Copies of this chain bind each other. A is one copy, B any other.
Amino acid sequence: MKLNFKNDYNTIGDIKILNKLIEYKDEKNIGYGEDYHSKELNDMVNSIIGKNSDTYILSGGTITNVIGLSQILKYPYEAVITGENSHINVHETGAIEASSHKIILTPLKNGKIDISKIKDTYNRFTDNHMVLPKCLYLSDANELGLTYTIEELKEISNICKELNLYFFIDGARLSQSLVSEGYTLKDIASLCDMFYLGGTKNGLPFGELLVIINDELKSNFKFLLKNKLGLLAKGFVGAIMFKEYLKDNYYLTLASKALTYANKIRDRLNKYLIYPNKTNQIFIKVSNDIFDKLNEQVEFEIWEVSDSYKVIRLVTSYNTNDDEINELFNIFDKLGL
């Protein structure tokens, strides 16, 4: 089997998390998230963020984006603003549109939403022959592993308030932003209307924790969750895992491990880096010759293809270990990287 740096969801899950499933395997619980673990989890979250939120666990990122945004966007003419490279625009097979909503693109700057252009984008929509912008969506960290600073998030939050836009943060890789930027879940919760903390890409077999902050968005969410196919029968499975994940900031421990290894790779490949990110994704530009040789020995994602070069993505995770890094660096050595 090739060395695998393809993504951060290539292993089942962290042993502490899995052991919790063994521990509770015979406990009989009520279904559909009405169990006591789900309640305890919600309390934990509220305690962490210092707010009275509603929390739900969904199976993955796309379904969380779509159902979360469907709660925000009531009518089909209501639209979400985001950048061209965002997950909902590029990698969800049209799931947002399949939920009847248009995605409005706002310009990017160095791979992130250009904050200075949001108002202009909003102001292009002037009458009932065009959609009505109701929400701004971004991922933190985003598809390129880029993170928003706390100042940037505050600025965006203020613009959203001014324009009467809801602010939704896709946190599939939020733990990476937290360990990299140094802000907290409490900070995030104070700035947006809805966000989620990803589990799938940071040590859980599945699961994203959706946190609804704004009271206006809480009503009847359980109906939407079932109607839009997101309600899990054994809600307590996710709740037990997420309690362990949040306990003693274990999600940050897992994310830090991934980040440490990523930083090692970045240090090593410094001159090949093409996005100045600080998270567990490393994008490098290599010649086609190097690419071919790497490709024989390492699983990675091909990001961009041209006649003269290729951009590839390496990803570390909670599960990366020293042996893998050593082996990877040996390969680099042989290739002169």
Contacts and interface: CB of A to CB of B under 8 A. Distances in A.
A59 B58 CA distance: 10
A94 B77 contact: yes
A306 to B, nearest CB: 13
Contacts of A19: 22
A161 to B, nearest CB: 20
A105 to B, nearest CB: 9
Interface string A203-236: 0011000000000000010111111111111101
Contacts of A93: 77, 128-131, 223, 226-227
Q: How large is the interface on A (under 10, 10 to 19, 20 to 34, 35 or more residues)?
A: 35 or more
Contacts of A99: 100
15 contacts: A10-B30, A11-B25, A11-B27, A12-B27, A15-B22, A15-B25, A21-B21, A28-B319, A76-B227, A77-B94, A93-B226, A95-B227, A128-B223, A206-B237, A229-B230
Interface of A: 1, 4, 6-7, 9-15, 18-19, 21-22, 24-32, 59-63, 66-67, 74-77, 79, 90-103, 128-132, 200-201, 205-206, 220, 222-234, 236-237, 240, 299, 319
